[in-house]
Amino acid sequence: MKIINPADGTVITEITADNAAAVRRKYELARAGQRKWAKVPISKRLAAIAAFRERIVAMHETLARTLTHEVGKPIRQSRNELNGLLGRLDFFLHESARALHDEKVFADAGQKLEERITHEPLGVIANISAWNYPYFVGSNVFVPALVAGNAVLYKPSEFATLTGTHIAEMLHEAGIPRDAFVPVIGDGGTGAALLRQPIDGVFFTGSYPTGAKIAARAGKRMIKVQLELGGKDPIYVCDDVDIKAAAAGVADGAFYNTGQSCCSVERIYVHDSIHDRFVEAFVAEVKGYRLGDPMDEGTYIGAITRRPQLDVLKKQVADAKRKGAKLLLGGNIVKRKGNWFEPTVLTDVDHSMALMTDESFGPIIGIQSVADDVAAVDLMNDTAYGLTAGVYTTDAKRAKRILGQLRAGSVYWNCCDRVSPRLPWSGVGHSGIGLTLSTYGIQTFTRPKAWHLKSA
């Protein structure tokens, strides 16, 4: 398997992917490992995660550079991801013991009855991961899964394999046994081989089409399935905002990570009365974004990680233009080595265009004018997805009214493209099923067992 730098197309290295026999052996290793790992006290499991955190601090710059090298993420944004990871680890370190503690939910001396809940590990789980935020989307799964006593077969995306290998090395150095956290290396074929093993759960982060295949495969097996999938996340900008500040915030939400975030802003609706002024401020902001070598400190727009995505972006722009959209900025593949697309802004868009309905996953955005809040809410909910959605307004009551009507896992007021470890991360519709993060996202890696205890 070739590891290619998307910023210049060069081969970084070649590594051997796991074939079906290797995947089987790794499954067997993890099955035996899980029995031992489940007996390790939670305090020791947490101590290993704390040591993993220390490894990340010590290796910070090396990890950031590897990530930038293999996915084309601007170096400052790679460092930000690692800093964010430390916060998530702190959350898990702080909250897990409480979330996984046995609970006495009822006791009655007269009936000599006690009812308890324990949180049993699921067993051996597969963590099939994406490349766009490999530290975030991976750790949301493997950290609480390990802390809860599961063994994890972790398949990083084939586009973030080196990062996945770093993660495995650091976890092992930190004291997580090699048979409790087992990396599985390869592409979709390797992922499919992993799903053929008698695992106890699959936790997937990736696209809707792959998620649908995985759900169909796992459905027959009656194992736990969690899918964190894509989005077509909307923002509505009301007429009462500070236009320049709102434009800057929303543009960052759309173009950060080169638009390759599951919760990137993918559609913008602006109240008629401020539309033109907002567009002007938005375009000015985006013109300030520097596209270039992801290793440069000043770069904001990096490479497109997966080459086929260039075609998706090109087609969405062409389709929108053909149907009447106005191209204000960009619109083209950049002619340089590697995979690059210009930051692109279109107006006069509508929902007949793929740009406003299909996940773009790149640095392109459509801005649509709306007459009022009712029209904005209707358009925001007009999607098969439902990951995040948000509103910019200075009016708290108006914000709460609008947010309450949005069909999405996360809703934002005057912010966007934001994830908090304290809040559940989930999607509606094609954005997935299940959740990670928050205390629910710790307990999700367990099976609650009901104890009915009657003393004689």
Count of residues interacting with ligand NAD (CB under 6 A) = 32
Residues 395-454 interacting with ligand NAD (rule: CB under 6 A): 425, 427, 432
Residues 181-200 interacting with ligand NAD (rule: CB under 6 A): 187-188, 191-192, 195
- 157, 158, 125, 130: which is closest to 142 by C-alpha? 125
Measured distance CA(219)–CA(231) in Å, rounded? 23
- Residue 46 touching ligand NAD (CB under 6 A): no
Nearest distance from C-beta of residue 438 to ligand NAD, angstroms: 13
Among positions 155, 166, 275, 430, the unique one binding ligand NAD when judged by CB under 6 A = 155
Nearest distance from C-beta of residue 212 to ligand NAD, angstroms: 10
In 308-413, where does DSSP find H-type helix? 308-322, 373-381, 396-404
Nearest distance from C-beta of residue 409 to ligand NAD, angstroms: 8
Report whether 394 contacts 193 (CB < 8 A). no
Residues with a known catalytic role: 228, 262
Return the ∠ at Cα 166 (arms to 41 and 5), rounded to 5°: 155
- Residue 128 touching ligand NAD (CB under 6 A): yes
Among positions 49, 122, 125, 137, the unique one binding ligand NAD when judged by CB under 6 A = 137
Burial class (CB in 10 A: 0-12, 13-18, 19+), 284: middle
Nearest distance from C-beta of residue 428 to ligand NAD, angstroms: 11
Give percent helix, percent strand, percent coil of the chain, each to the nearest 5: 45, 20, 35
Measured distance CA(1)–CA(223) in Å, rounded? 30
How close are the terminal C-alpha atoms of the chain, in Å? 63
Residue nearest to ligand NAD (CB): 191
The first and second tokens of residue 395, run together, are: 């009016």
- Residue 149 touching ligand NAD (CB under 6 A): no
Among positions 206, 249, 338, 421, the unique one binding ligand NAD when judged by CB under 6 A = 206
Nearest distance from C-beta of residue 83 to ligand NAD, angstroms: 18
Footprint on this chain of ligand NAD (rule: CB under 6 A)? 128-133, 137, 155, 157-158, 187-188, 191-192, 195, 205-207, 210, 213-214, 228-231, 262, 359, 361, 387, 425, 427, 432
